Amino acid sequence: MFHSVGNIEKYRTAKGPLMTRFPRSGIPRHWLAMAFWRRKMIFLVGAGLIGIVSTGFALGADKATHLFDMLRDEHPVLAFALTCLSFVAAAVATARWFPAAKGSGIPQVIAARRYEDRTTRAKLIGGGTTLWKVFLTLLGLLCGASIGREGPTVQLGACIMFLLGSHLGLRKPQGLVLAGAAAGIAAAFNTPLAGIMFAIEEMAKSYEKRISGLIIAAVVVAGAISVTFLGNYKYFGNTQIAIGFSRAMIFAMVCGVVAGLGGTLFSFLLLASGRLYRHFSSGSKWVPYAFPAACGLVVATAGLLTHGYANGTGYEQAKLALESGQTMPLWYGPLKLLATLASSASGLPGGLFSPSLSTGAGLASIIGLPLADIPVLGGLSPDDLRSIILLATAAYFAAVVQSPLTAFVIVTEMTVSNTLLVPLLTATFIGAGVSAGLTREPLYHALSRQF
């Protein structure tokens, strides 16, 4: 053992005190510290819990969506009324009891990482707020809101890691929160690489080398548990598309611009509606009730006009269009955008990921219509239409979140579309570039300033 400070310094490596080694064994000294192994065990145990809870949340969300679809098919008038009334009840209850639970959940996690004190973090990603968000997200899907479970799953993952770290005495849980968010994305979509990229590109906006290994470990554990229970599924199925590279690049550039403008419009309207609501609701007794009621009416009407596509995630219709190569009616995309905007603006807890992907798939109809009339293209084949749907989906999503690499990886992992890698990357960067050029900052980071 060491007998003096000088001996310790003698065996200290260039990386600092944590890399001090014992002279004969060569074992790093920090490997024998309980705190070192406790931190790693918290990451792994937390990731396992995230995988289990996320799986249950996914099954519950699917069940809630299925029940609403059954109600809409058998009793459309009752489903219409239920959507309108549920928006008022959920938005008012959330504003009164858990105001930090509104919206996606990702802005809360971003805001929580900015604060040092545990009390403020607990208000944003604590157990009460997160449980309320999960419950209201399931209720929203049961009542036809155009929301997804992915954003709440990110907050759920961050919450589990935060609570474990707080109760087990970790002083700086930022890394835990980041790993929890990444594990939540991986478990929600069965996209481990997207979980890692999302943590780096969107949540942290930087590469934190010290915790990168633990983030990967958390993603692997959560993803493995999700696959164990749900199977090794692909969100949009196996999509192998045979299309020429030059042709695909033309589609990518068009989709990047048009879908990018659509995603930019959504972000602008969502932020603007929030500012208007805060302005008119201050000191008003009826605006907090009338505004979510109007939002519920918009969603219910859009769902009625699109035969349910504007309700829920829109997953089934988007997947069917991608698999068959048949685009949806022209008005489906804009109405899905409007329904998602109304659902998010109302203050109802729920995520944006799935509805954004479905909106992008719906906008492909608008993009494909003029392309089909271009003589040099000679019409559009089913594979052409499938590629346009996929590229529009990625570009719109990239424009909403302004994270092109995350959008590229998540769509690639969800579809296994290896033949469109370069066009997909092109579409996402154009879409995100259009959004970045027309807005001040990314949507989630702008929303996080409310907290």
Digit-coded pLDDT (tens) for 410-448: 888 777 566 788 888 899 999 999 999 999 888 998 999
Residue 344 CB partners (closer than 8 Å, separation 6+): 103, 104, 147, 270, 350, 352
Give the range among 35-39, 50-54, 206-210, 343-347 with minimum mean pLDDT: 206-210
pLDDT-derived band at 136, boundaries 50, 70, 90: very high
Average pLDDT over residues 40-46: 78
In the prediction, which pLDDT does 209 show?
A: 46
Higher pLDDT, 444 or 187: 444
What is the CATH code for 34-230? 1.10.3080.10
Q: Is residue 1 over pLDDT 50?
A: no
pLDDT at 207: 45
* Confidence at 141, pLDDT banded by 50, 70, 90: very high
Q: Which residues of 107-133 are buried (b: 16+ CB within 10 A; e: fewer)?
A: bbbbbbbeeeeeebbbbbbbeebbebb
Which of 83-97, 141-155, 167-181 is least confident?
Answer: 167-181
pLDDT tens per residue, range 258-291 = 999 999 999 999 999 999 998 888 878 899 999 9
191 vs 67 pLDDT, higher one: 67
For 62, 100, 259, 262, the CA distances from 266, given in Å and listed in that order, are 25, 22, 11, 6
Asked if residue 205 has pLDDT above 60, the reply is no
Per-residue pLDDT reduced to its tens digit, 221-241: 666 676 666 665 555 555 666
Give Cα separations from 438 to 146, 391, 432 (angstroms). 25, 21, 10
- The structure's pTM equals 0.84
Ranges for all domains in the chain classified under CATH 1.10.3080.10:
34-230, 245-448
> CB-based burial of residue 134 (10 Å sphere; 0-12 exposed, 13-18 middle, 19+ buried)?
buried
Phi-psi region of 117 (alpha: psi -120 to 50; beta: other; left: phi over 0): beta
pLDDT score, position 34: 56
Position with higher pLDDT, 144 vs 190: 144
Supply the pLDDT for residue 7: 44
The residue among 57, 289, 367 whose CA lies nearest residue 187 is 57
Q: Which two tokens stand for residue 419?
A: 């033949």
CATH 3.40.640.10 at 245-448, yes or no: no
Which residues on adjacent β-strands are paired with residue 351? 148
Q: How far apart are CA 450 and CA 203, in angstroms?
A: 16
Res 150: pLDDT: 85
DSSP state of 203: I
How many CB atoms within 10 Å of residue 78? Answer: 11
Residue 379, pLDDT score: 76
16: enclosing H helix or E strand? none
Measured CA distances, 256 to 18, 323, 373, 431 (Å): 47, 21, 19, 5
What is the predicted pLDDT for the residue at 258? 96
Which pLDDT belongs to residue 428?
Answer: 92
Q: In the prediction, which pLDDT does 418 show?
A: 67
Task: For residues 122-130, give the mean pLDDT.
Answer: 92
Span 295-329, pLDDT tens digits: 999 999 999 999 889 999 988 888 888 877 777 88
State what percent of residues in the chain have pLDDT above 70: 80
pLDDT at 12 exceeding the cut of 50: no
- Output the pLDDT for position 384: 86
Q: Which residues contact 275 (CB under 8 A, 6 or more apart)?
A: none
